[in-house]
């Protein structure tokens, strides 16, 4: 992971997250929650690569906060729609037009009726940015019925029930094209996986170098050395694939294929690294006091969101089967 000013700032603030009375405000004041959004839209500037750097560090520190939802999903959507980006954490939800109903009510406003499942952090945000077909709207959480839910880690994944809620016309915008929200969200989780994976590797290397068994440090045993080498290899491949996917997405060059490939690599790496990290640590890695389980639980949880490896492999295979030279296609990114 890079050691530039942005990375150092994100590392420092996220490492001390629980020490601050209002950690979100600290991150917001540092500009971290709006990286990748143009200054003219109220952001901190930079591109997707810089936003991905912040996401990696949020994954590295297993941050229990809607960083991806704010700076990668909801914030850029509001900026693209030229709607104001409020202070505070945000989240995003989406559905096909047939799943929920967003209709003009005839009085200059809109009515939203339907349900969004497993919305991250819905109960804790200031706005929920909703994409319905080719329209975007910004809604207040207290206008909806929010049914609490959680993922494997315990982070909020809530059901948002909209019972014909009224939305002002100023908060509804037609989008030029319907965004592929699953693709963008999957890329965000992929980037976060690379951070959590590196954290698990670092913890394992340190523990193996400190723990003594049978009169020798764990790192002196060949089997443990092989575990650590395999983990480092998987983490490196996953990060390289995610960097390529971010570049492709920003340039829109075969973005779907690049994201699919990165997603497949990240999910595989997450499984291997989590398993071997717990092998190295033994029982101590599952205790509440040890930080390992906070990384590995998120590796498993983030791997299960926005499509599993089989779904992304199918998507990649279908795309490869539609081109004239599948080998060139698969090795070209």
pLDDT at 328: 82
Q: Of 50, 65, 80, which residue sits at a domain end?
A: 65
Which pair of structure tokens corresponds to residue 41?
């839209």
Domain that holds residue 132: 89-178
Copy the structure tokens of residue 135. Answer: 């329209």
* Residue 233 included in any domain: yes
Claim to verify: residue 208 and residue 295 sit in the same structural domain: yes
207 and 300 co-located in one domain: yes
* Percent with pLDDT over 90 in the chain: 86
In this structure, the answer to whether residues 125 and 146 fall within a common structural domain is: yes
Residue 97's pLDDT band, with cuts at 50, 70 and 90, is: low
Residues 269 and 154 in one domain: no
Structure tokens at 319: 């795309």
Round to whole Å and give the CA distance between 298 and 221: 28
Convert the pLDDT of each residue in 115-150 to its tens digit: 999 999 999 999 999 999 889 999 999 999 999 999
| Chain segment 282-300, per-residue pLDDT in tens | 999 999 999 999 999 999 9
Q: Considering the domain boundaries, does residue 31 fall inside one?
A: yes
pLDDT digits (tens, 9 = 90+) for 142-169: 999 999 999 999 999 999 999 999 999 9
Residue 188 included in any domain = yes
Judge contact between 69 and 120, C-beta under 8 A: yes
C-alpha–C-alpha distance, residues 282 and 101, integer Å: 51
End of a domain among 178, 213, 233? 178
174 with 185, same domain?
no
Summarize pLDDT for 230-286 with one digit per residue, the tens: 999 999 999 999 999 999 998 776 689 999 999 999 999 999 999 999 999 999 999
| Contact of 66 with 125, CB cutoff 8 Å | yes
pLDDT surpasses 80 at 82: yes
Q: Are residues 305 and 186 in the same domain?
A: yes
Q: Does residue 70 lie within any of the structural domains?
A: no
CA 205 centroid distance within chain: 25
Q: What's the pLDDT band for 333 if we cut at 50, 70, 90?
A: low
Three-state helix/strand/coil letters over the chain: CCCCHHHHHHHHHHHCHHHCCCHHHHHHHCCHHHECCCHHHCCCECCHHHHHHHHHHHHHCCCCCCHHHHHHHHHHHHHHCCCCCCCCCEEEEEECCCCCEEEECCCCEEEEEEEEEEEECHHHCCEEEEEECCEEEEECHHHCEEECCECCCCCEEEEEEEEEEEEEHHHEEECCCCCCHHHHHHHHHHHHHHHHHHHHHHHHHHHHHHCEECCEEHHHCHHHHHHHHHHHHHHHHHHHHHHHHHHHHHHCCCHHHHHHHHHHHHHHHHHHHHHHHHHHHHHHHHCCCCCHHHHHHHHHHHHCCCCCHHHHHHHHHHHHCCCCCHHHHHHCC
What is the Cα–Cα distance from 260 to 332, expressed in whole angstroms? 14
Q: What's the chain's length in residues?
A: 333
For residue 1, name the pLDDT band (cuts at 50, 70, 90): very low
Q: What percent of the chain has pLDDT over 70?
A: 98
Quick one: pLDDT at residue 31?
96
Average pLDDT score over residue span 73-79: 96
How many domains is the chain partitioned into structurally? 3
Task: Please give the average per-residue pLDDT across 64-78, as a whole number.
Answer: 97
Residue 38 phi/psi, 5° resolution?
A: -60, 145
Question: Do both 293 and 195 map to the same domain?
Answer: yes
Inter-CA distances, 157 with 64, 93, 94, 120, 324, Å: 12, 11, 14, 4, 41
271 plus 138 within the same structural domain: no
Average pLDDT of the residues of the chain: 94
Sheet holding 101-104: strands in order across?
A: 101-104, 109-120, 157-168, 145-147
Whether residue 50 lies inside any domain: the answer is yes
* Residues 217 and 118 grouped into a single domain: no
Q: Indicate if 120 and 3 belong to the same structural domain.
A: no
State whether the Cα torsion 216-220-224-228 is positive or negative: positive
What is the rounded CA–CA span in Å between residue 107 and residue 174? 18
């Amino acid at each position: 992971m890079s050691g530039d000013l942005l990375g150092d700032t994100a590392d420092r603030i996220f490492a001390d997250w629980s020490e601050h009375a209002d950690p979100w405000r600290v991150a917001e004041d540092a500009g971290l929650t709006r990286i990748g959004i143009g200054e003219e839209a109220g952001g901190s500037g930079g591109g997707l690569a810089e936003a991905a750097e912040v996401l990696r560090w949020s994954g590295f520190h297993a941050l229990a906060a809607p960083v991806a939802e704010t700076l990668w999903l909801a914030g850029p959507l509001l900026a693209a729609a030229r709607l104001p980006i409020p202070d505070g954490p945000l989240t995003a939800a989406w559905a096909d037009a047939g799943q929920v109903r967003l209709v003009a009510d005839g009085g200059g406003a809109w009515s939203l009726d339907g349900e969004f499942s497993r919305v991250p952090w819905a109960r804790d945000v200031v706005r929920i940015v909703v994409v319905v077909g080719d329209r975007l709207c910004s809604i207040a959480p207290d206008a909806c019925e929010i049914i609490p839910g959680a993922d494997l880690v315990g982070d909020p994944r809530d059901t948002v029930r909209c019972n014909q809620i009224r939305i002002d016309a100023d908060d509804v915008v037609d989008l030029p094209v319907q965004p592929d929200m699953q693709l963008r969200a999957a890329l965000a989780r992929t980037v976060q996986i690379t951070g959590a994976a590196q954290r698990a590797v670092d913890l394992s290397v340190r523990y193996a170098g400190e723990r003594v068994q049978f009169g020798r440090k764990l790192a002196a045993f060949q089997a443990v050395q092989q575990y650590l080498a395999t983990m480092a290899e998987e983490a490196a491949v996953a990060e390289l694939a995610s960097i390529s996917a971010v570049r492709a997405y920003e340039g829109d060059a075969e973005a779907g294929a690049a994201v699919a490939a990165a997603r497949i690599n990240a999910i595989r790496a997450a499984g291997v690294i989590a398993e071997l990290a717990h092998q190295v640590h033994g029982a101590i890695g599952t205790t509440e006091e040890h930080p390992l389980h906070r990384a590995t639980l998120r590796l498993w949880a983030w791997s299960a969101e926005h499509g599993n490896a089989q779904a992304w492999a199918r998507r990649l295979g279908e795309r490869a089967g539609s081109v004239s030279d599948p080998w060139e296609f698969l090795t070209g990114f």
